[in-house]
Structure formats: C-alpha cells, structure tokens
Structure 1
Amino acid sequence: MDTTPRSSRPTFPDGYGIPETTDGLLTWDQVEPRLREAMHYWLSSVRPDGRPHSVPRWGVWLEGRFWYDGAPTTRHTRNVEVNPAVTLTLESGTEVVIVEGESHATRAEPDGLGARLAEAFGKYADAGYSPGPDSWAGPDGGGLRVVTPRRVMAWFAFPTDCTRFTFGEPDGRV
C-alpha cells in the first residue's frame, strides 16, 4: 500500500465556505503526527443489523496504518468480521482527523513488526499497558487488528484548510 496519499478538496454542500482552489490544503506531514501522537481514538463500525457502533480504543499509528488489539468476542470485532468498513476519529471536534478504511485481523512476529508495535504502544506504559514484542505472534495474533486507510478527511481551521487525502491507485481505485 502506498502510504503517501494524494490531497484534494473535499466536496461539501454550497454554503460551507470551502475554498475552490487548493491554496491552504493541509499536508500529510501536518496530519499524520496527530494520528501517531493521539492517546485516544474512536472506532466506528456497523452491526450486522445495520445499526452503528462506536467505541473508544487505544492503538498506534505506525507505517501508515492504525494497529489495535482486543478480544475477538468484543462487539466491534464481531462487527468488522462481517463488514470490515470502519471510521476512526480523534477526540477533537476542531482539529479534525477522520480515517475511513477497513479493519482486518493480523499478527506480528516479535523480531519485526511486533518489536516496532511494542515500542509504539509504549505511549500507554504510564496507564499500565505495556505489550511485549511477542504479544501478537500467537495463532490468533493476540487479537491484533489493523485499519488500512482508504480516505482521510482533516481540517484544523475550518473551512479554509479542509483536505481530503486518498490512498490507493492514481486512478482512484483503492
């Protein structure tokens, strides 16, 4: 997956004041650190009957994706096993980052990705959560899941810097 997204203006209804030019678009270098540094994320999925479900999650943004773990019996995990489409947001309603993508079960070997994830999850050590590099190496991946972004919307000074980032093929296929 290409981790360098393309940027453009999002489409909003008339009257929102979204600029018609690309002047003032955010750069990915302005947005991605907020995803890395956040402590709390909101993950939204869809229940099998179509009703929405949102849950606060701890996780890490690493290598252009969001990694989190948890029991396979949780409502959000059961949801994404049926329909992997998710929305991930940060807590701020004024410095907004909205990630749309898919959540899939995965695993991480301790001598590679597992070590990088354990280091990144170190931001939760003061809260009592310190997984080791081997935490996600078992047959079930220790409940590890990864959200692969398809589109990110962000703004820090609405409406002047509203930016849509898209990931995938240059022709728009993801």
Structure 2
Amino acid sequence: MATNEPTTTLDPEFSAPGAEPTPWSAALELLENAEVFWLSTVRPDGRPHVTPLLAIWREGRAYFTTGATERKARNLAANPAVVLTTGRNALAEGLDIAVEGAAARVTDPAVLRRLADSYAAKYGPDWAFRVGDGVLTHDEGGEALLFEVTPVRAFGFAKGAYAQTRWDLD
C-alpha cells in the first residue's frame, strides 16, 4: 500500500555520475504541498489528454475533482489509468514527480467531507465544497465528482545534480 515505504531505485542511465536516489520523504513533501498538478488520461480513441488541476495528497493517495461532463471524467469512465505530475518549471533546480496509478470515483460521504475540508484548508475559501449526494457541490460551479488515485509507481526527476528515481508503491 502507498502509505508504506516504497522500493526505491536510482536509474544510473538517466542520472549524473555519483547521484543518489531522491528520498521518498522529499517526494511526499512536494506532493503534499504542490498547488498545481497536471493530470494525464487516455481518451476512448487512445489519444492522450493532459490538463492542469488542483489536487490533494492525503494518506498515500491523490484526490482531484472534475465535472461529470468534462473530458477527464469521460476518459476515466473508459480507462482509469492516469499519470499525475507536479514539480518545478526550471531546468537546473528542483524536483519533478510523476505518479502512475488508477483513478476511482469516491462517493462515500465521510471521505467526501474529509476531502472537502482538505480543499478548503489548502486552497482557501474559493475552494470550499459542500457534500452532496455522492458528489461535492460548490456555489460557483455546481457539482464535482471526486476521484482517488491509488499510486503504483512514481518517478522523481531531481535537477541540478540530475537523478532519476523510481519508487514502486505496491
């Protein structure tokens, strides 16, 4: 499960000589504090779809919202495979993370409440959700579906002293 310490591997082919693997704790810090993520899904015809969004990392999983008719929701109905990325838009410093997994819809009222509280705490009052019938609701945007990403693998791309780290989370 993703809350355990993952198996960590440094890929020497894509790392600088003498590079060390990035600790999972550094990846967690970035995942917990990042404000913007990029979600990659697969369209029913096989073409990729990428979009920026807000996400919460909590207890070893990622959570994001979308409208029921948005492209990402329609893609996930056909194929739950996703990659969620975040990091720094700089070449020589920082850390980029790509998390691979499967997204599943969350409808449990207790989980919806916890995540509604997490969104408001992290992103402020503009992202204050209420819990509806299996959805989150918002005065400005109607209903939002909540998805949970269970990660199976993540990659870290440390910059400066380049290091490509792989974390196997299953």
Give aligned-pair identity as a percent: 31
Deviations 1:68-110 (A, max 9, x none): 1121211111111111111111142452100111111112323
Change beyond 3 A, Cα 1:85–1:10: farther
Change beyond 3 A, Cα 1:82–1:159: farther
Aligned AA (1:153): F
**Equivalent residues in 2 for 1:58-73 (5 A)?**
58-73=54-69
Aligned-partner SS, 2:57: strand
Aligned AA (1:62): R
Aligned-partner SS, 1:143: strand
Cα contact 1:24–1:161 (8 A) shared by 2: yes
Change beyond 3 A, Cα 1:151–1:24: same
Change beyond 3 A, Cα 1:43–1:35: same
Change beyond 3 A, Cα 1:9–1:158: farther
1:64 Cα offset (Å) = 0.6
Change beyond 3 A, Cα 1:81–1:87: same
Aligned AA (2:50): S
**Equivalent residues in 2 for 1:29-108 (5 A)?**
29-94=25-90, 95-108=95-108
Q: Tell me how far apart the structure 2 counterparts of residues 162 and 124 of structure 1 sit (CA, whole Å).
A: 30
1:157 Cα offset (Å) = 2.9
Q: Give unpaired runs (5+ residues) of structure 1.
A: 169-174
Q: Give unpaired runs (5+ residues) of structure 2.
A: 137-143
Structure 1 counterpart of 2:116 = 118
Q: 1 or 2, which has the higher strand percentage? A: 2
Bigger shift: residues 58-67 or 140-149:
140-149
Q: 2:40 aligned with 1:26, yes or no?
A: no
Structure 2 counterpart of 1:109 = 109
Question: TM-score with structure 1 length normalisation?
Answer: 0.79
Cα contact 1:42–1:91 (8 A) shared by 2: no
Deviations 1:47-85 (A, max 9, x none): 111111001111100111111112121111111111111
Q: 2:166 aligned with 1:164, yes or no?
A: yes
Q: Tell me how far apart the structure 2 counterparts of residues 115 and 140 of structure 1 sit (CA, whole Å).
A: 10
